[in-house]
Structure 1
Amino acid sequence: MSDLRRVPSSGAVEVGYPTGHLGHLTEHETQALEDFKALIEEKGIYKPGPPPSHDDQTLLRFLRARRWVPQDAYVQFSETQKFRNANEIEKLYDTIDITSYEASRKLVQRTLDTRALPDGETSVLTEPLPCSGIPIYVFKIGHLDSKAVSDYEKSTETTYSKAKTDGKTPPKLLRLLALYENLTRFVQPLSSECVDRPNTHTPITLSTNIVDISNVSLRMFWNLKGHMQVASQLATAHYPETLDRIFIIGAPYFFSTVWGWIKRWFDPVTVSKIFILSDHDVLPVLMTFMEIEDIPKGYGGKLDWSFFDEPAYDDEIKRIARWENGHTTFPPGPCRWQLSEDGTRVECLAVGSQDGQERREIVCTVPKGCVPKSDTSTETATTNDEKEETSAATSVDDEAETAKHLYPGPGTQRPPPPSLPPMPWQV
């Protein structure tokens, strides 16, 4: 997933992004973060550095997932560290065979490259608004017939990285976890460095998913049930609070039965982030988050992009990227970011292996645009940019303000937009 389209955010557990994220913590949340750090340092699974073994935005994901209770966050965090160490997840990502990685990526997942309005804004505004920065992924299930799945599972039986495993986690699932590593180590950091968004001091740690289940039979769902369940549980356990929302489109008539399985795999907060859209509601709802020019034609928009197309990058990414070593775009395979020696830029490092040879090549650099703010008081300091954003927000007309709140924060049990009646399985 080397392509980016970015959508607005709702973010934190209770009242919406960026609440609960760096630079926007309450006194209670700040204290919880300090207590959490002290606890995991005492347990020997965190080093304060500099540099620290884990950045604050990562630790905050576990705290949000566990309602700001440090002891509960510690339990999940420690289990994740055990899992990562037992399966050498970082080595898995850095040495995975590029062909194998691309086979996993192309199986069900793509990333769009769309620009979007801030949360809930619609195109009734006459002045352009900045993108909120959250990346959007597209998952398409309809091509996963038994042969495609069988071929994929056979391909995972061979060695595809230098990482040792715990012997319990199936190789096909470990390979899919490399895609989550790509989210947290490549896609979200790149999104964070884009400065044409509000809250540029707040790192992006979320993603939004469009899951296209059109042309999927009940038999296909049944055949994928076990795999989907384990994959979902692994992601929920070890990559908490990386989801902003999920839009499910193309749901067949029998999906109420399938939904009964699926919603039991997730906690209630995650379920509240899932929206099932009927065909005639897909475009209106997506337009509350993206410009119509950035919505694929297959979903009623104007973007000439389909699921199997190569990525297209938006103008901000093109503007900030300074390409190196003959590259003009991000290559296939895994990539990650590292800080430059002088600390003013971040470097995209292409990793993975090809024909048994590890790849370590600088692809491009971008300016270090996201410098997280500290949270040292109950009321977070307001920057001049944020004051300007607040002032601009008060001048937006009533219709746009109403649209802005179609979706409250993901911690609440959110109904579909007012114009959409609940689907039978959402009641």
Structure 2
Amino acid sequence: MTTDYEGSAPAGRVLSSGSTASQQAGMFPHGHLGHLSAHQEEALERFKVVLQEKGLWRPGPPASHDDQTLLRYLRARRWVVDDALGQFKDTEEWRAANNIDTLYRTIELEAYEQSRRLYPQWTGRRDRRGIPLYVFEIRTLDSKTIANYEKQGANSTFSQAKTDGKTPPGLLRLFALYENLTRFNQPFCTQLTDRDHADVPVTMSTNIVDISGVGLKQFWNLKGHMQAASQLATAHYPETLDRIFIIGAPIFFSTVWGWVKRWFDPITVSKIFVLAPHEVKPTLEAFIDPKNIPKKYGGELDYSFGQLGIPDPAWEGVIRWEKGHNSFPSGPLLWEDVPGEERLACVRLGAENGKTQREVICTLPKTWGLTEKSSDESTATESSATTSTNTAATTINDVSEGTQTSEDTLDDSTQTDGAAEAIEKLKIDEKAETKTTEVTPMTAATAAA
């Protein structure tokens, strides 16, 4: 790289209003790196041994898959090593068969942007715990749009990737977005130290799903597409969800919910909350600072669905923008070590008219180790089922299987009666998270639109 990588110090740590309560609860970040029980530590070590014996993991350095990635599979399978092995193996074979790394690195920027504008979008902000916040407006997915999207995708992957022919080709572009979230967004949020539990890599996402204005017919027409996409994400990007808040539910949504909840593990279902109109503002404010909540949902952020993420003032003094950039662009982004410095560079890849691109967007101080594979290494690895899922880290915005045990409540000094009531409804009993019986998460299953 020819860019000057002169840097600055990381931001200071800022406590969220829920920090005291969450620490007293002793739950978050239970089951995450650095906060494992003896049983969980043992499971992780046994998992590594089995994966290495099967040729699915290399210890490195650098390791082919970092610990926080392996832990996602263990949490998803309730720490049963053999079950986690099966899911991990299936994912590695799927990634290799569909050249997922090549797809991400060589996707046409126009095709990437088309996908980005249809699906959950990062607002550029985080919740009170430093977890990235996404918004998804379902009404943009009408039957005509989806039919056109799938038809175009069936004719081309819009990249140099080859596919196995088994995964619906119309959906493959969607997984470039998942890769962006695991290889760019989650590692980025991990590097930022202005959050509770800054010693724990960020491996989750918080989501606002707006279903206002969506009729029963549109839900029905989307059923097949959303089911296929959700099940693939659940299978291959496990344990990446912390909360989904559903807003604007019409009175018939209880019928729709009957279909949707069958696609997911009961514990995943327990992370989805349908909010009545009077619950939206206090609930969101309990988890997200008002300055980071879009105005449409009662906050202060001037954000509209479709636009790129709005840079956070908290990044000032942390991010050094390059080549005239002042925000993150659309396209496949990933982080690479800056040679000779304790900094990371954000690089945009992708292609325009078949010609691959490479552009440094910014750099920031390195607070977590990270080594991104070169494209040659990725191509070589991808030719076998032992391809690395990713070396960057951690999560993706999807509804996945798991036993996440996070909880956040408001400090007594900031808690309103409305927020208190909302949080009581959102509490997940830690014992209930280990059950296999179905959990009904809806706080207002038949809320009026």
| CA separation of 1:200 and 1:308: change in aligned 2, threshold 3 A | same
Question: Is structure 2 residue 108 aligned with structure 1 residue 111?
Answer: no
Amino acid of the residue matched to residue 185 of structure 2? V
Once structures 1 and 2 are overlaid, which stretch shifts more, 355-364 or 264-273? 355-364
Corresponding residue to 2:150 among 125, 136, 153: 153
Question: Is structure 2 residue 421 aligned with structure 1 residue 423?
Answer: no
* Contact 2:103–2:157 under 8 Å retained in 1: no
What corresponds to 2:270 in structure 1? 272
What corresponds to 1:222 in structure 2? 220
Q: CA RMSD in A?
A: 2.8
Q: How far does residue 408 in structure 1 lie from its aligned partner after superposition?
A: 3.9
Cα displacement string for residues 175-206 of structure 1 (whole angstroms, at most 9, x for unaligned residues): 11111111100110000010111222211010
Unaligned runs of 5+ in 2: 1-15, 371-407, 434-438
Counterpart Cα distance in 2 of 1:48 and 1:107: 38
Q: Aligned to 2:135, what secondary structure does the other structure show?
A: strand
* Contact 2:337–2:345 under 8 Å retained in 1: yes
Q: Aligned to 2:235, what secondary structure does the other structure show?
A: helix
* Contact 1:351–1:361 under 8 Å retained in 2: yes
Unaligned runs of 5+ in 1: 1-6, 118-131, 373-392
Q: How far does residue 346 in structure 1 lie from its aligned partner after superposition?
A: 1.2
Q: Aligned to 1:287, what secondary structure does the other structure show?
A: helix
* Contact 2:150–2:171 under 8 Å retained in 1: no
What corresponds to 2:101 in structure 1? 90
The number of residues matched between the two structures is 379
What corresponds to 1:311 in structure 2? 309
TM-score for both structures, normalised by structure 1: 0.82
Q: How far does residue 227 in structure 1 lie from its aligned partner after superposition?
A: 0.8
> What are the residue-to-residue correspondences of 1:1-400 with 2, within 5 Å?
16-114=27-125, 116-117=127-128, 132-156=129-153, 157-342=155-340, 344-370=342-368, 397=412, 400=415
* Contact 2:126–2:132 under 8 Å retained in 1: no
Cα displacement string for residues 301-351 of structure 1 (whole angstroms, at most 9, x for unaligned residues): 222221123320112234311122332222221101122223511111101
Counterpart Cα distance in 1 of 2:302 and 2:323: 30
Counterpart Cα distance in 2 of 1:280 and 1:223: 29
Q: How far does residue 245 in structure 1 lie from its aligned partner after superposition?
A: 1.0
* Contact 2:190–2:368 under 8 Å retained in 1: yes
Q: How far does residue 415 in structure 1 lie from its aligned partner after superposition?
A: 7.8
Once structures 1 and 2 are overlaid, which stretch shifts more, 338-347 or 189-198? 338-347
Counterpart Cα distance in 2 of 1:421 and 1:159: 40
Counterpart Cα distance in 2 of 1:76 and 1:314: 36
* Contact 2:126–2:133 under 8 Å retained in 1: no
Counterpart Cα distance in 2 of 1:399 and 1:34: 42
Cα displacement string for residues 98-122 of structure 1 (whole angstroms, at most 9, x for unaligned residues): 10011001013211133543xxxxx
TM-score for both structures, normalised by structure 2: 0.78
What corresponds to 1:387 in structure 2? none
Q: Aligned to 2:202, what secondary structure does the other structure show?
A: coil
Counterpart Cα distance in 2 of 1:292 and 1:85: 42
Cα displacement string for residues 218-243 of structure 1 (whole angstroms, at most 9, x for unaligned residues): 11111110111111111111000000
Amino acid of the residue matched to residue 249 of structure 2? A
Amino acid of the residue matched to residue 26 of structure 1? S
Counterpart Cα distance in 1 of 2:228 and 2:26: 30
Counterpart Cα distance in 2 of 1:267 and 1:33: 22
| CA separation of 1:279 and 1:397: change in aligned 2, threshold 3 A | closer
Cα displacement string for residues 31-76 of structure 1 (whole angstroms, at most 9, x for unaligned residues): 1101000000000010000000000000000000111111111010
Q: Aligned to 2:255, what secondary structure does the other structure show?
A: helix
| CA separation of 1:399 and 1:359: change in aligned 2, threshold 3 A | closer
Counterpart Cα distance in 2 of 1:316 and 1:364: 15
Q: Aligned to 1:209, what secondary structure does the other structure show?
A: strand
| CA separation of 1:81 and 1:278: change in aligned 2, threshold 3 A | same
| CA separation of 1:251 and 1:422: change in aligned 2, threshold 3 A | closer
